[in-house]
Structure 1
Amino acid sequence: MVDDAAVFPPGDADLSDALTAYAARSSQWYADLVGSFVVRDTELGAVPPGVPASVVLTSGAGAIAGVASLAARKDLTLAGLEVAVRDADDPVGNVRRIDAAVRAADLDVQVFVEVPGPATASWLAAADEVAACEFHLKLRLGHVDHDLIPDAGTVATWIDAALDRETRFKATAGLHRAVRHDPEGGGAHGFLNVLVATQTLWDGGSGADATEVLEQRDGARLAATPLPSARRWFTSFGSCSVTEPLDDLIALDLLEKP
């Protein structure tokens, strides 16, 4: 459920230290909670073989060929590529360029595409192209500037769009805690809220229903909600902390510490 993004803000861990901690978790009782190790393409060469790396492309589609070449040369394990649409004037064309680069590199890997902005017609058209290319969506749910954190209604619309296209998605930024809360400066989404909202929409609930769920602060109520299908669509979230999500899951009796 948690992709280890320790080297990204606000954690900004040293890469070597983060890799050591990632390896150490493989023997812990909660090892199955942690998925890939998220790393920038500029630091991929320091990741040892065998570590499932989800690579954030810092220069868009143009970086794909280099990542593929490096991974092949060093026998690295690519768990995924994460790339943001950079051309706001032509997001559909940008997704197509990503697709062309992945095909040219002959990569068989999950690709998560971040389409910035609210769910305008342009955003929805880009989401259509993401689905057509059999990619996944990447939703940015947090920001260091609290004014730029998407509100619950926007997040509900994004999730609904993903489900409508039967497109899986991961989330990034700000989902360290299970339940929506209010740190100093503004609100922060909770990953359990996102799971329950996903299930709500998949079960036929409205956007207003999902928005209400995303704003819910009652952890016990959220934890009591059955989630038979949510993980099929909401695959994971990147977090610079693994212990915070783990502690919340234990506190909500969703994981039992041996």
Structure 2
Amino acid sequence: MPLPLAFRHLVDDAAVFPPGLAPLPRAVTEHAEHLASPHAALVGPFVIGADRLAELAQLAGPELFTNGLRVSVVTAPAAIPAVLAALAATDRLVPAALEVKPDPAPPIRDQIDALAARSLPGAVYVEAPRPVTRAWEQALASAVRHGFRLKFRTGGTEAAAFPTEDEVAAWIHDTVAAGAAFKCTAGLHHAVRHTAPTTGFEHHGYLNVLLATTRACSGAPLTAIRAALAERDPDTLARAVTATPAADTAAARAAFTSYGSCSVLEPLEDLAALGLLDPATP
């Protein structure tokens, strides 16, 4: 039985990023193994920093990736010419997306407009400012105008990097209302919202984000979107996801395209533990 629609290509493989920090050769080999496994449909592109493209191209041989390795490249605006040159110099890397982190000083609207003036391969994600700032309004409006997507940073290596339920709810609500799509990065290590025992950090869950997006796509108020993000009971979340009609799930996944994770197996294990995978999908 195929992987349920709710989870297809949900997890972008960010194994080389914190906290995993896998050595690149190992991460590339393991990515190929994921793509050859029964859970291949869970996996999105390989996420890589702009400065490692040449190294990655050397590792992505045809014995591992017959048709090339699909990549999502994390880059600053200033590095984009070098990224485009590196991608053009090899047939081993297939650009799926660019994940652009705007510079802090120049107006974000101007930076997004400058991106739109270039011919860029794949989808373009712009990392969003926190929604309590006017920069968020500018980022969303400019991204929508140019057909770009948003990227929400949902965690990191310090407590301040984790946005609150109110902030994530505002991001999702505003983005869905504007007809745009988004991905998440960092902090979504598990399916359900939880407090990490080793750090005390409040982690959002990827099922929470999925349910919140489903509610936003259905026109639910901001309070209901926030409530979905705050839910900590695994069974409640699993039942809600299972009960969602297929058309609503498809709309939610068109909006919430994926999230970057330093582990592919952790989200897979969570789905299995919650009974959300077919038994034939290990």
How many angstroms apart in 1 are the aligned matches of 2:225 and 2:148? 24
User: 2:5 aligns to what?
Assistant: none
1:165 & 1:119 partners in 2: Cα distance? 17
CA distance in 2, matches of 1:241, 1:257: 21
Match in the other structure for 1:252: 274
Alignment of 1:120 with 2:120, yes or no, is: no
Question: Structure 1 unaligned runs (5+)?
Answer: none
Aligned to 1:109: 122
Q: Pick from 161, 184, 187 the counterpart of residue 171 of structure 1.
A: 184
Show the counterpart of 2:161: 148
In the other structure, the counterpart of 1:222 is 237
Structure 1 counterpart of 2:64: none
Task: Give 2:108's aligned amino acid.
Answer: P
Equivalence for 2:102: 85
Larger mean Cα displacement after TM superposition, 69-78 or 187-196:
69-78
Is 1:45 the counterpart of 2:54 in the alignment? Answer: yes
How far 1:108 moved relative to its partner? 3.3
Q: Are the aligned partners of 2:213 and 2:256 in contact in 1 as well (CA < 8 Å)?
A: yes
1:201 aligned to 211, 216, 237, which one? 216
Give the CA deviation at 1:89.
5.0
Aligned to 2:80: 64
The superposition leaves residues 84-104 of structure 1 with CA deviations (integer Å, 9 ceiling, x where unpaired) of 12134511111112222xx2x
Partner of residue 174 from structure 2, selected from 147, 161, 184? 161
Matched, 1:74 2:90: yes
Question: Conserved in 2, the CA contact under 8 Å of 1:3 and 1:237?
Answer: yes
Matched-pair contact (CA < 8 Å) for 1:119–1:158? no
Q: CA deviation at 1:128?
A: 0.4
Cα distance in 2 for partners of 1:6, 1:165 equals 31
Aligned length: 252
Partners of 2:191 and 2:236 lie apart in 1 by 12
Calculate the aligned-residue CA RMSD, in Å: 1.3
- Once residues 40 and 257 of structure 1 are traced to their aligned partners in structure 2, the CA distance between those partners, rounded to angstroms, is 35
Structure 2 length-normalised TM: 0.86
Match of 2:17 in 1: 8
On the 8 A contact 1:45/1:70 being kept in 2, the answer is: yes
Deviations 1:143-177 (CA, angstroms, capped at 9, x unpaired): 21113310001000001111111111000001110
Instruction: Give the stretch that moved more between structures: 230-239 or 63-72.
Output: 63-72
Q: Which AA in structure 2 matches 1:190?
A: G
Measured in 2, the distance between the counterparts of 1:14 and 1:215 equals 34
For 1:7, the aligned partner's letter is V
**Could you say what secondary structure the match of 1:8 adopts?**
coil
Q: Does the 8 A contact of 1:87 with 1:94 survive in 2?
A: no
* Partner SS state of residue 195, structure 2: coil
Structure 1 equivalent of residue 3 of structure 2: none
- The alignment partner of 2:202 has SS state of coil
The answer to whether the 8 A contact 2:159-2:201 is kept is yes
Give the deviation of 1:214 after TM superposition: 0.3
Identity %: 41
* 1:210 matches 2:225: yes
Name the amino acid aligned to 1:5: A
- Provide runs of 4+ in structure 1 moved above 4 Å: none
SS at match of 2:163: coil
Q: For the Cα contact (< 8 Å) 2:126–2:149, is it kept in 1?
A: yes
Q: Secondary structure at the match of 1:174?
A: coil
In the alignment, is the contact (CA less than 8 A) between 2:100 and 2:125 conserved in 1?
yes
- Structure-1 residue corresponding to 2:145: 132
TM (norm. structure 1) is: 0.94
